[in-house]
C-alpha cells in the first residue's frame, strides 16, 4: 500500500501498537499511514472517554515504529497526522 487512511476509527482498534506494527509489512517503500480523528475538545464525535488524543496517537505510533511525517491543522474538529515507518 502507498497510503493507509484511518478516518474517525482509531479509537475502535484494539491493541493499536501491535496493529500498527503489523501494518508496516503492508506498506510499500515510501508508504504512509494517515490518521484523522476527533480532537478531545470537539463538540461532535464519539464520547470523549473513547477518543484518542493526537498526542496519544503520536506516542502509540512512535512505539509501533513510525515517525510523524506531516501534521495538518485545517480541520475544525479533527486532527490530521501522517506517519511513515522510522526504518525506511
Domain topology for 3-85: Rossmann fold (3.40.50)
Domains in the chain: boundaries: 3-85
pLDDT at 77: 96
Q: In what order do the strands lie in the sheet with 66-72?
A: 3-7, 32-38, 78-85, 66-72
Closest CA relative to residue 20, chosen from 87, 68, 65: 65
pLDDT at 88: 67
Asked if residue 82 lies in contact with residue 70, where contact means CB atoms within 8 angstroms, the answer is yes
Closest CA relative to residue 69, chosen from 55, 86, 52, 47: 86
Q: List pLDDT tens digits, range 28-83.
A: 999 999 999 999 999 999 999 999 999 999 999 999 999 999 999 999 999 999 99
Amino acid at each position: 500500500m502507498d497510503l493507509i487512511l484511518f478516518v474517525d476509527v482509531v479509537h475502535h482498534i484494539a491493541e493499536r501498537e501491535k496493529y500498527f506494527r503489523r501494518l508496516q509489512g503492508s506498506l510499500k517503500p515510501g508508504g504512509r499511514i494517515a490518521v484523522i480523528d476527533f480532537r478531545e475538545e470537539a463538540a461532535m464525535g464519539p464520547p470523549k472517554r473513547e477518543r484518542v488524543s493526537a498526542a496519544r496517537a503520536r506516542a502509540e505510533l512512535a512505539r509501533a515504529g513510525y515517525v510523524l511525517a506531516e501534521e495538518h491543522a485545517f480541520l475544525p474538529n479533527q486532527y490530521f497526522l501522517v506517519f511513515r515507518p522510522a526504518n525506511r
